[in-house]
A and B are shown apart, each in its own frame.
Chain A
Amino acid sequence: MAKYLLIESRDPFESNDTAFAYELATGLAGAGNEVTLFLVQNGVLPARNGARADGLLAVMKAGVKVLADDFSLAERGIGNARLRAGITPAPIETVVDHLEQGHKTLWH
């Protein structure tokens, strides 16, 4: 079982490519890998409670741990209380944590 960190920087309302990144996360988790999805920049927008986010919900349902960059959230005025349940704010150091441990880290 491999460990993956997928970083999503794009907003699904801006880029259809995010669907592929979500599918990759879901597929890797379904294959038995340990997968974390780190949302950053406009990638945090679907983390808002009430936002239309079918792809992201499927990722969470697949058992992927979903984190949202705290700086990106603050920049966009998204307080923790507005986050969808199951998504946790996290600092950028989280990415360094994964790199240190040699996890496969992909940026989209």
Chain B
Amino acid sequence: MNPAMSFDVNRIREDFPILKQEVHGCPLVYLDNAATSQKPQVVIDAITRYYAEQNANVHRGVHYLSQLATREYEDARVKIQRFINAAESHEIIYTRGATESINLVAASYGRKFVHEGDEIIISTLEHHSNIVPWQLLCEQTGAKLRVIPINDDGELLIDEFAQMLNSRVKMVAVAHLSNALGTINPVKRIIELAHSRDIPVLLDGAQAAPHLKVDVRELDCDFYAFSGHKMCGPTGIGVLYGQSHWLESMPPVYGGGDMIALVTFEKTTYNTLPYKFEAGTPNIEGAIGLGVAIEYLSGVGLNRIAAYEHELLEYATEIIGAIPGVKLIGTAREKASVLSFTVGGIHPHDVGTILDQEGIAIRAGHHCAQPVMKRFDVPATARASLAFYNTKEEIDALAEGIQRAVEVFS
């Protein structure tokens, strides 16, 4: 049976209190999920419960509450480990989000393994968070940043990538799923090619984690970065997955409490993984909330989510793509969640404002991916990004809204 068929979206919608509200007198149509997802009631409840019943600092107290908070916090780590099928829970490092995860690798791995004359490879369709940390590293070390080109559909040119690999390349960092175009990159192939030359690969999974089943051992990626808030969890919590042997060989980036074993003024011995990278009191509420979000997503089923969203994206591509004047930006064969487009001569911001008056939330702008915009020679696009709680009726509302924008500007 087609898994999308058995998907009861109306029941799912009941889990998200925010979806019941009206905006500007119209039912909210939330199509800005690539920016951040909405939160189910179970996540909201978990955060409230934590502060109402469990709040204490972790890893520090002998008292009841501290032990309770520590257990909840560490249980969430195990949930995350299982969610992405990591070998060990200590390979899960809590961060503030995918951005911090990538910065952590650039700073720590970079400090140890990247030197003048080395090369870092990223791709044209990266989010700024997977560009700028590597630029900073290159500035500091004298390494060179190289960029995998894409074709007019927004797909990476893998043959050109293979040509770029050489002994000077010390890291390949690419998005699993592009936030601006929706392209699903052939990451397994990328990893195979890089590993054949012993080059580690970091995947920016900020967009992929809520939409695709991620198995870091099957992918065999060295690092995987993602954010809680894009996958039904709270803001301010994210994950860096790293294979143990890398994390063990990398120096800490932040010093402070929790990341040490023994401190004297002469020498400090660092704590074991994962605490070596988690200085200071962490985002306990965020970790617990993310753990619950992951349980919720697993309950719905990532494969079912992916199948339903695929059907929805195909529908949206057909309906929106058929509107005269609409040009789809990003037409890769393998896509998920994201529909980026321009409407005739109308600036995406004007489209966004007009849709907003209809209660429809989309993103208008460069999506923190200015090089992609430049590649397609547009200053900005309008972007509708789907989640598993969106419906075909909402796509129809979007289509009507776009048509109205065309009328206003005709």
Query: Do A and B interact?
Result: no
